[in-house]
Each structure stands twice: as structure tokens, then as C-alpha cells.
Structure 1
């Protein structure tokens, strides 16, 4: 649908459709002059194409009026497109092919406004906008003599993106495996340690003198009586 912001795109689509049906001449040229006896075959053909019906004889003037009505300030549009292009930054979780094509689409809009950015500059702008994870990739490009075309850039970036995704997946698997291994080691240590501790806890503390369970030698009354009988000094009381 035509609105105040998409006239150029709308016009391009209209011309494509009319061109496919071979009735676009009335939008590109003024109404042809009437034929005469001296008219050339090409002139006769153009006249026939441009005067198929009364409704399309004046289409070019109508389209020109529309273009003036929806005319935009080219300087404002240039500034907006350049700002968008220079501020673009690629996020790793996106699709790098679509990202590069979007940058070149903006460049094509600038070209239509008579601001043409050369291919080498666009390749460099794409590389500069890539994240830090691809720094080594950018350094490799800067160190080589050959320059990449758009298709070569997309191909190399696709391969790099695939490698990054594979490395990320492998790192996640290794981290998960290491975590599981740590849990198993902890479980085995506790399993090996548990019975020994339980066994130790089950060993009764018997008195070394009277062999009475739960009684300590220093608290044993029989031991103290025996010492007194033998004339041994009295032991200090436990605190």
C-alpha cells in the first residue's frame, strides 16, 4: 500500500508489474505524437504501445504528480541511511548472511540517492561491525593481499559462524560432562567414606581397666580404688 514513506519502493514494484505486461511505456515516456505517412516502424510500435486505451495515455504525468506529492528530502534520507549503516553491529545469535545482505541493501538505497560506496569499503564496514569473537578472522583478512567480493565475504563469514556455533556446542558439552564427573566423584568419595565412619561410630568405648562399655578409665571407680590400694597418688579429676 502506498504511503508517505514507501513511494520509491511502490513505484519500483508498479514498473516491474507493468513491464511484465508490456504496458509500462506510458509511465516512462510522454504521449507519442500522432502517426504520419513518414513514421518509422519503431514509432508506429511505440504509438500502439502508448495509446492502448484512453485511460493509460496520460499515465506518465499522473505518476510525475504522485512523485512530487510524495517527494522526500534527499538529504534527510541520506543522513538516516548513513547513520543506520554506520551504527549496525552484528550479534552472534543472529544470521550473519542476512545481516550482511541488510548492510548491502542500505548501500543500494544510498546508491539510488547518488551516494555510491565502493565494494572494498563495504566489505571493510561489514568486518568492522563484527563482534570481538571474530577478531582473529578480521586480522587474517587484513594480513592477506587478496580482497574479497560480496559473495566471498558472505561465504567466509558463513564458515566462521558455523565454526563458532560448533565450538560453543562442544564447550557446553565438555562443561556438562565435567560437572557430571565431579558429582560422581563426590558421590563415590562419600560412599567410600560413609561406611568406615559408621563402623567407627559403632565401635564401643570400653574402659581399659574394667572393660565396662561406655566407661572411661579415668572415671572408673574400680581403677581409682585399685590405685588407692596400691598406694599410688590420686589422679586429678577430669574437667
Structure 2
């Protein structure tokens, strides 16, 4: 497969991820986990970074993890509106960043459900 074909394939994969908003977090997260897996970039989402020793024969695994981490962070940040990025704690680890996003949106989802429930309880039937 040539470079053009792999760029087109990557672009098609990325287009599957919707822009994150307050109502689609679960679908967004599923896609953010699936797309890097299909592109063989999900190592950073599955494992924590190992600190290599000086005589570590698996140095290429560290490089693979770093590439995976960098790409996953870029993919996630691309699919988060600029206005929401400031509300989410930054992280240099894709796995931790995904966890921060989950905390932020699960908190917002609980607040939204609570607001809707209180509105329903105070509505008057006409």
C-alpha cells in the first residue's frame, strides 16, 4: 500500500470520530478507542509507559509507545472543540487525558440529568 493510500485510509478512519459535545461522550469515546486500534496506534491507551533501562533490548517498544501516545493525544484533541479544551486538565499521557475527559463529561452528564429531573418535577400539567 502506497503513502497516498495509507493517508486516505487514516483520513477515513479519523472521519469516523465525531466532534465531542455534551451529548455524545459515550459514542465519542468508543470511536476514540476503536480508530487508534484499527491504525495500530492504541498501545498508549492500553499500557502505561515503561521507563527503559540503559541496556533495555526493547528500546523500540518505548519508541512505539511514544508514537502511539503522541498520535492518540493528537486524535483526541482534534475532536474536542477549542472552547472545551480549557476545561479539561492537560496530560502528557493519552490514557490519563482520556480519563480526565471522562471525569469532565460524566460530571456534566450528572448535572444535566439532575437539572432535567428537577425541571420535570416542577413542571405543571396544562
Common topology (TM > 0.5): yes
The alignment status of 1:101 with 2:33, answered yes or no, reads: yes
Shift in Å at residue 75 of structure 1? Answer: 3.0
Asked if 2 retains the 8 angstrom alpha-carbon contact of 1:119 and 1:149, the reply is yes
Whole-angstrom CA distance in 1 between matches of 2:67 and 2:2:
17
Q: Which runs of 5+ in 2 are unaligned?
A: 42-65
The 5 Å alignment of 1:126-137 reads 126-130=76-80, 135-136=83-84
1:82 alignment partner, SS class = helix
Whole-angstrom CA distance in 2 between matches of 1:97 and 1:86:
13
Whole-angstrom CA distance in 1 between matches of 2:14 and 2:67:
12
Shift in Å at residue 157 of structure 1? Answer: 1.7
The 5 Å alignment of 1:204-223 reads none
Equivalent pairs counted in the alignment come to: 98
**Residue of 10, 18, 26 corresponding to 1:89:** 18
Q: Which runs of 5+ in 1 are unaligned?
A: 1-72, 110-115, 187-239
Label 1:85 to 1:130 Cα distance change in 2 as closer, same or farther (>3 A). Answer: farther
RMSD: 3.2
1:130 alignment partner, SS class = coil
1:108 alignment partner, SS class = coil
Whole-angstrom CA distance in 2 between matches of 1:101 and 1:79:
19
Whole-angstrom CA distance in 1 between matches of 2:34 and 2:81:
17
The 5 Å alignment of 1:7-18 reads none
Label 1:124 to 1:140 Cα distance change in 2 as closer, same or farther (>3 A). Answer: farther
**Residue of 82, 86, 93 corresponding to 1:139:** 86
Asked if 1 retains the 8 angstrom alpha-carbon contact of 2:19 and 2:80, the reply is yes
Whole-angstrom CA distance in 2 between matches of 1:148 and 1:85:
23
Whole-angstrom CA distance in 2 between matches of 1:173 and 1:90:
27
**Bigger CA radius of gyration:** 1
* Larger relative contact order, structure 1 or 2 (CA cutoff 8 Å, min sep 6): 2
TM-score by length of 1: 0.33
Residue matched to 2:54: none
Whole-angstrom CA distance in 2 between matches of 1:147 and 1:165:
22
